[in-house]
């Protein structure tokens, strides 16, 4: 996967604005909320989870 974090705000919830680049070259900008993250690794895992969600939504939408 490939993504660029273009904005990040941190309080109780960390919000990351992320641009996903899909295998077909298309991209998608999303804002991902991380509620009380315990580590940077958790945020990265959440981004990966969301990427997989959006890729699946895209695949389902194209069927």
What sign does the CA torsion over 9, 11, 32, 21 have? positive
Q: Interface with other proteins includes 20 (CB under 8 A)?
A: no
**Minimum separation from the CB atom of position 49 to other proteins (A):** 4
**Minimum separation from the CB atom of position 25 to other proteins (A):** 21
∠ Cα 25 29 34 (to 5°):
125
**Minimum separation from the CB atom of position 56 to other proteins (A):** 5
> Which one, of 55, 54, 32, lies nearest residue 44 by Cα?
32
Residues that bind other proteins (CB under 8 A): 13, 15, 30-36, 38, 46, 48-50, 52-53, 56-57, 60
């Amino acid at each position: 996967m490939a993504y660029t974090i273009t904005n990040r705000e941190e309080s109780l919830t960390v919000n990351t604005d992320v641009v996903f680049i899909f295998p077909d070259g298309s991209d998608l900008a999303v804002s991902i909320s991380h509620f009380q993250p315990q580590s940077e690794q958790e945020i990265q895992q959440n981004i990966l989870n969301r990427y997989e969600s959006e890729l699946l939504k895209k695949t389902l939408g194209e069927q």
